[in-house]
Structures are given as C-alpha cells and as structure tokens.
Amino acid sequence: MNNTQPWEFTCKTCGGHKLNVTRVWKILAGPDSESWQEWGPLEADHHWRFKFKEKVEAEKDWDGDDEVDRWDFAEYTKDNSSSTPEEYEIFEPEGNPGNDRFYVNCANCDREIEFGWSQPNRGGLIFPVECSDFIPGGIWPEPRYLDSWHQKHWLRKGDNQP
C-alpha cells in the first residue's frame, strides 16, 4: 500500500509490521454502562483511521440479547486541516481527560505497545515507542505510561510535575 512509510515497526514477539490504534470509552445507558471501542490502523504519517466500531461485551452477560454492532467507518482520518468541523471528533473536551482509553497494539499478535503523543493533552499524532522514529524526550506520554516513562527517563523536561 504505502511504500514511503518513514518509520518501521517490527514486533518483538511475532515479527509483524503493522499497528492498530484502539479507542475505548464508556457511556451510561440507564443503570448500566456500556463500553464501546473502535479501532483501525496507524498510518505512515502517524495519523490513524478508525475503521471498525463495536460494543464491548461485559464478560458475564451472555444472554443472547446483546448482539455486536459492527460496521465499517466511512473514510476518516484525523486531520487538523480539515474544513469540516462537524466531522466525527475523537478527542474528549478538555476537563474530561482519561475518560477515553487509547491503546496501540501489534495488528498481528495484539501485544500492547506503549505510545505517546506529539502534543500535550493527547493531541497531535501517535508515536509508538517501538517505532524507528520514536524520540525519547520529544513525545508526551499517554497518561497510562507516565510512571513507566519516568523510570526510563523519557519524559520531556518539565513534564515531571503534571
């Protein structure tokens, strides 16, 4: 597909070269909450495109009532230059961070890969740490990996205090 990919990823476990980005979020549905997820490939330019979406089933509740909704997303790319502001927006409004969870996984074996963002507050592009162009100290960590990156001395200067 894209021969000009500027970075390389080779999975330590399976040798795969592709990465998926997954976003998981919860919505309140009456007394229960539902979890949904959407996912798609991380592209060569560190944008990502969600191609699939489905409800995450609760582990216990298999009464046949909850069928999985899945459909293909229309072409969607996170693109700040887009002139259509009503387009599907993936980022939480400020003040409600941490409600959504983002994951980067090997597309082949599903191993979780740590990653960071090119801008603070989960902004910009996604940079998995195992990509060849990852620059420690130049990327804002996904909040889940803050402690891990702190131990590795990967945090940007001044980022030690949130």
Q: Which residues bind Zn ion (CB under 5 A)?
A: 11, 13-14, 16, 106, 108-109, 111
> Are β-strands 19-29 and 101-106 bridged in parallel, bridged antiparallel, or unpaired?
antiparallel
CB 110 → Zn ion: shortest distance, Å?
7
Residue 48 DSSP class: B
Q: Token pair for residue 161?
A: 């205090």
Handedness of CA 23, 80, 49, 159 (dihedral sign): negative
Closest CB 130 distance from Zn ion, rounded Å: 10
For the record, the structure tokens of 23 come out as 């976003």
CB nearer Zn ion, residue 7 or residue 76:
7
Work out how close the CB of 159 gets to Zn ion at its nearest, in angstroms, rounded to a whole number. 29
Q: Which is nearer to Zn ion, 49 or 111 (CB)?
A: 111
Residue with tokens 């909040």: 143
Which residue, 21 or 155, has its beta carbon nearer to Zn ion?
Answer: 21
